[in-house]
Amino acid sequence: MERARSPAKGLDDESAGWLRRLGADGGDRQAAERELHARLVRIALTEVRRRSVSSPVTGPELDDVAHQAAGDAMFAILAKLGDFRGESRFTTWAYRFVILEVSSKLGRHYWRNPPVALDAGQWERLPDRFGIDPAGHAEAAGVLAEVRRVVDDELTAHQRRVFVAIVVDGIPLDALATELGLRRNALYKVIFDARRKIRRALVANGYLEESGWEQR
């Protein structure tokens, strides 16, 4: 584990105290680690419950995810203590680790009981994904058909697979990232480029004006 550097000037007292205690030897350090770990567990438990509404992970498995996330976050925090530059309070910096661990672990656990398979291609659910009321389906049908045409004809195979999984089938981005062995940022950029490409095509083909939807 990397030991903390001497507390930087300008740190608030609490942050400086954390760094001092986590960088100490013996009992002080162990007590600080126990206290920090307890906080991370509490935050992780709160976070998995907050996200349980939108996650297929339920019951005791959620608590397992929280404890695993807290443990892994603790390990990462201790390993990266030297990276803390005092741009925020120490605890805010540390809590970020456990929040990101919860995201990552829920993405991984998604595949234990996935509500939809990869490559399912549930295009019929696309109106619901965008909150289009059943009464508006007919009106939206032309635009959505054009979206599908652009996805099929103008996106690359990789863009198409990622777009269908995330946007059409509603697979969480972090879950897809785990399945494909990619980083969240890489998938986000794929979706970003696909969004731009689809929008340009809709504008070019008269379905959308630069400033919004064309009335047609």
Partner 1 sequence: MSDLGRLEGFLRTDPRDVGCDEALAVLHIYVEVVAAGGDAAGRYPGVAAHLTACGPCAEDFAGLLLAVTSA
Which chain residues interact with partner 1 by CB under 8 A? 39, 43, 46-47, 50-51, 87-89, 91-93, 95-96, 98-100, 102-103, 130-133, 136, 139-140, 143-144, 147, 167, 172-174, 183-185, 188-189, 192, 195-196, 198-199, 202, 208, 212-213, 215
Judge whether 187 and 145 are in contact, CB under 8 Å.
Answer: no
Burial of 181 (0-12, 13-18, 19+ CB in 10 A): exposed
Q: How far apart are CA 110 and CA 178, in angstroms?
A: 9
Minimum Å gap between C-beta 27 and partner 1 is 25
| Nearest to 174, CA basis, from 85, 78, 99, 93 | 99
Give the list of residues 6+ apart from residue 75 with CB closer than 8 angstroms, or none: none
> 24 vs 100, which CB is nearer to partner 1?
100
> What are the distances in angstroms from CA 180 to CA 47, 107, 186, 188?
25, 12, 11, 13
CB of 114 to partner 1, least distance (A): 17
Shortest CB 68 distance to partner 1, Å = 16
Nearer CB in complex with partner 1: 23/172 = 172
CB closer to partner 1, 23 vs 201: 201
Residues near 94 by Cβ (< 8 Å), separated by ≥ 6?
A: 18, 36, 40, 73, 77
For partner 1, the closer CB: 29 or 167: 167
Q: Smallest distance, Å, CB 213 to partner 1?
A: 4
Least distance (Å) from partner 1 to the CB of residue 61? 18
Nearer to partner 1 among residue 3 and residue 216 (C-beta)? 216
